[in-house]
A and B are shown apart, each in its own frame.
Chain A
Amino acid sequence: MNFYTDDKSIIACSTGNQSNTAIAIIRLSGFKSLLDLQKFFSFNLQKTENRKSHLTNIIFKDKVYDNALFVYFPDGQSYTGENVLELSVHGNQLNIQRILDLFIKEGALRSAHPGEFTYRALKNKKLSLSQVEGLDMLLNANSSLMLSQGLDILQGDLHAQYLALYDSFLKLKAAVEISIDFSEDVGAEETQIFFNKSFEKFFKLISALKTRTEGNVSALLSPEIVLVGQTNAGKSSLFNILLKHDRSIVSNIAGTTRDYISEVIHLEGINFKLVDTAGIRESNDVIENIGIDRAMGILSRAFYKILIVNPFETNAEYLKKFSDIDFDFLIFSHSDKKDFLEQLSLVNFSKIKTKYLSKASFDTSVCGSIEPLNMSGPMGPDTIAMHPNFALGGPIEPVNKSGPIEPLKNDSIQSGPIEPVLKYHILKKFEVLTANNPILLERHRNVVNKIYSESVSFKNNINGLTDVAILSSEVNILGYSLTELIGIVSPDDVLNSIFSNFCIGK
């Protein structure tokens, strides 16, 4: 973005400009003095109280344009850091345009570029770059997770943590500067304690932030539930069952290709993309191999992976393809058919890894039915013991996972309709993954990780260091990466930190 602008006063309508509404808000920023705008208002602007609402007519040369409320935010107390005026006018699009034109033509204002109010807030240090990113996320969020994180970066906990990180770094740097510039004012011991405390706090904060960057968050930004399985396994049936009650009003999600069908479902405030990889079949011809590759691509970024296997029509080669995938749920369909268990015992799914499994039937009713299907042994690529000893009742424990995985509990899957069971598990997984409040912005994740690893090497480098000159150099290096997260660490900030924490001046 090359976004250099002049210092002119700007104006724009800050509420929607698509249709007529009851109220619209027009924002003006950057004018020198409120009194310069007197010619547009019937209200005597000298009587304006800051940040209070006043009723006025918008006028020009005896003509009344609208009846409006206005609030004045003087520079320093405004969003952009400049003088800001907000007019609440009637939200007819023609009315809005007429008022904008009036101010532009007669008031030496110009129309603001998209995002320019925020740009000015950034320029005037009312917002940091991180906060602008948070705002962007908030305004453009398509999931409640992004919505809440947007707000979090803008003014919430994450923003507070960034500020605390900056503050502890300033203190760290201040301690080094004190020891160089003010060694006669502040004792070495006091400085050392200050330094250690600041670094401890800094390290604690950056470590806490780092845990919030762990895990694959791209899957959380726009979570996808992916159904795979051979033709006639029952993917479409399951797809429709899941879609039935919760089809989202949001329908267009970019990236959809004709290879698969997708719809958005809305579960407890969270939008999930439900994907049916309908086009993907057996792998014994070239075209279908491409289909498999594509399915693999979809699976790799999926949030929730469901494999459906019809024991009556199973290709062993097909199942082998999925040996590297960690499925969340494995469903054996057609459980209502005769000889189901017998047929199941013939399927070699020893290479399949899954967290839960069950048997299900999609035909009996519109919502299908699900029943627990528990096996006696662990499931994983090296396991062959499961064939053919199935038993209803024993828990299953998948292996070959890095972390502990919940075993299938007797009470977690009960016989009944499919939909609530699956939705329960999907939401539960989402809850677990978002429990540590992950940082979603890629840039922040990278920078946080970089600062963390530099903090670790800083910790190792300063052990037993007596040369303060070198120490100061190490602190500066740490500071460069910090700059990327929270803005420039200026000498004035450091000096302010020194003077506010220590009595300087011998």
Chain B
Amino acid sequence: MNNIFDILIIGGGHAGSEAAWISSQFDLRVGLISGPGASLASTPCNPAVGGVGKGQVVREIDSLGGLMGIVADKAGIQYRTLNESKGFAVQSTRVQVDKELYTKYAEELLSSRENLSIVREMVKAVKRDREKFIVTTESGNIYSSAKVIITTGTFLAGKLHTGEEQNAGGRVECQESVGLNDLLSEIKTLPNRFKTGTPPRIDRKSINYSVMEPQESDFGTRNFHSLSEPFNRNSKQVPCYLTRTNSETLSIIRANKERSPIFNGQIKGVGPRYCPSIEDKAFRYTEKDVHHVFVEPEGLNLETIYPNGISTSLPKDVQESFIQTISGLENAKILVHGYAVEYDVVDTSELSRLMEYKDIPGLFFAGQVCGTSGYEEAAGQGIIAGINASLTLLGREPLILNRNDSYIGVMIEDLVSNKRDEPYRLFTARSENRLYVREDNTILRMNKYRKCLGFLTRLDYFQESILDEVEILEKLVDSTMYYSTVANKEYFSAKEYGTLDNNISLKELLRRPNINPVIVLEAEAGKMGARFHSDAVRTVAIASKYEGYIDRAVIESEKINRMSKKRIDWEVLADSKNISFECKLRIKQIRPETFGQLQRIDGIRPATLAYVAGNLV
């Protein structure tokens, strides 16, 4: 095998797989190094892809040409549209995946790339050698590459905890890698390590499902990959189940406080507040004993069940006794015990928005090593790191996503402009532009970024055709009028569209409360003999419904524009310690003279604007 690469990715999880996949679309020599025992794109925790905010990320990755949506569709065994009753603008897709199939399909796709070599070795050291990086492995091989992307997840100096037991490891049954500073001494890590955890896995045959609430797969949820048939399922669909903890469960946990590594000081790392272990729940919310436990199959042919909601690092005997207090799990047999893992995290404020380490050009980071949690967050960073490693290698303009039109943009900006003090997960609350950054209009939002890659594949033609249809439909909803005639009034009442006292446009009809704009637009466009792709219809219908609110939000947030004529001193701003490094760089490049110019600089954070605005008052 050739030992010289253009781009070498260290780590084969979701970030590494996306980085390798997209880099291999460019005409480059790409290598992916992954530990010998670890499967590629594995789902070691919750066997699900998507979720609120995260579903948007999966579709954004898909629009850029990524892997995750394709694989999730193939391996999906239960689909759900979250927030279905809460309004179109906040709906998201989540798919339970068969973890065996997920890895299998991901490995198949990656192996199909001829210019991508997959290397199964442990990396020992990464060294800079002028314009190249030299990567040495434990088996003694030496590789060189112009660009290196580090996507090592929780493996850097990883340490597992189950009660008093402590073992080195990246995850269960996987060898840890060396610490980040041993790998590459110049890298700044966060002073605090991060911690995450996973629940015990239960033997499916030992569970009594009859006392639990089943949650069936939703056949109306659209597949992630835009080229997949929207509603076809590749794998068999199975239900998940819901059960709950009770006071007995919690009292067992509370009685074992001093045996909990999180509470007895054994674990020093910072865990995420949004994904607490059952111990956290027991001790932080002492008045609450009932917590949801989602019983999720890990695969169609796997014996293990993932009980979502009871992640724990308590000793094995405590895990066994508290699990068996839960309704339906009285005879539960634990096949793999829950554990927590602590790991090194890189200081992301040292990264640029390309995901490149600013002091070491050519070195990129992505995924959980950057302090995020979640497969989708990792994949989103991975694809951006892969794209930018490739584009910069080819001497082309790098790709930077804007926080106003993508969750990936929100995430990367949040990461690089702050030192994180806990694992980072995307919430829709992190976006200032939630009503616009939706799943249904992903192609509309992302096509301009996809175009920057310069590919011309089926995906590109598909996106073009959707955009054409969207444009036609937008004109249609504006120009189609319903005159207040007797016939139309009857038609409206027959269709339950409401009254028709004045002439209204189709767009106004779509905005009416109590109607489903997607169904109505589909019907009304169909009535005119026009047939549109369901994705285009959905985009325009939902955009019409929320247009007023999106505009109003934009107007309100742009009231700050009144300040835009005020003069600012960019030199002083560029020195201020209250402004993030990235913003200061941009300020030095652009040298804005007024607040308005500062605002228009791509990538200036809202916090910076607010800070400057506060000073101008």
Contacts and interface: CB of A to CB of B under 8 A. Distances in A.
B444 interface: no
B86 A4 contact: no
B614 to A, nearest CB: 7
Query: How large, as a class, is the contact surface on chain B?
Result: 35 or more
A467 to B, nearest CB: 4
Given A3-B615, A467-B86, A469-B87, A503 B572 contact: no
A123 interface: yes
B557 A472 contact: no
A504 interface: yes
A491 to B, nearest CB: 5
A503 B288 contact: yes
Contacts of B567: 2
Contact of B83 (A180, A473, A490): A180
A4 B569 CA distance: 8
Contact of B292 (A1, A179, A506): A506
Contacts of B391: none
Identify whether the interface residues of B are mostly helix, strand, loop, or mixed: mixed
Interface string B277-314: 00011001100100110100000000000001101000
A366 interface: no
A491 B429 contact: yes
A39 to B, nearest CB: 26
30 contacts: A2-B567, A2-B569, A3-B615, A6-B572, A7-B576, A129-B617, A181-B52, A181-B53, A181-B429, A182-B52, A185-B292, A468-B90, A469-B87, A469-B434, A470-B89, A470-B546, A470-B549, A472-B90, A473-B435, A473-B552, A476-B556, A477-B553, A480-B557, A488-B610, A491-B427, A494-B429, A503-B281, A503-B291, A505-B272, A505-B280
Given A4-B572, A180-B428, A473-B549, A505 B275 contact: yes
Contacts of A472: 90, 434-435
B607 interface: yes
Interface in A117-166: 122-123, 129
Q: Which 9 A-B pairs have the closest CB atoms?
A: A469-B89, A4-B572, A467-B87, A469-B87, A468-B86, A499-B273, A177-B429, A503-B285, A473-B549
A504 B556 contact: no
A470 B87 CA distance: 8
A106 interface: no
A183 interface: yes
B82 interface: yes
Which of A179, A487, A491 gathers most chain B CB within 10 Å? A491
Interface string A185-209: 1000000000000000000000000
Contacts of A469: 86-90, 434-435, 546, 549
B111 interface: no
Contacts of B557: 480
Given A477-B552, A494-B429, A468 B575 contact: no
B53 to A, nearest CB: 7
Nearest to A174: B429
Nearest to A4: B572
B83 to A, nearest CB: 6
Interface string A371-400: 000000000000000000000000000000
Interface residues of A, number: 39
Nearest to A503: B285
A506 B288 contact: no
B52 A180 contact: yes
Interface in B350-383: none
Given A3-B615, A467-B87, A488-B607, A506 B559 contact: no
A183 B87 CA distance: 13
A495 interface: yes
A284 interface: no
Which of B53, B87, B291, B559 gathers most chain A CB within 10 Å? B87
A480 B557 CA distance: 7
A224 to B, nearest CB: 30
B556 A505 contact: no
B458 interface: no
A181 B309 contact: no
B312 to A, nearest CB: 12
A114 to B, nearest CB: 16
Interface in A1-50: 1-7
A257 interface: no
A4 B281 contact: no
B87 A505 contact: no
Contacts of B309: 505-506
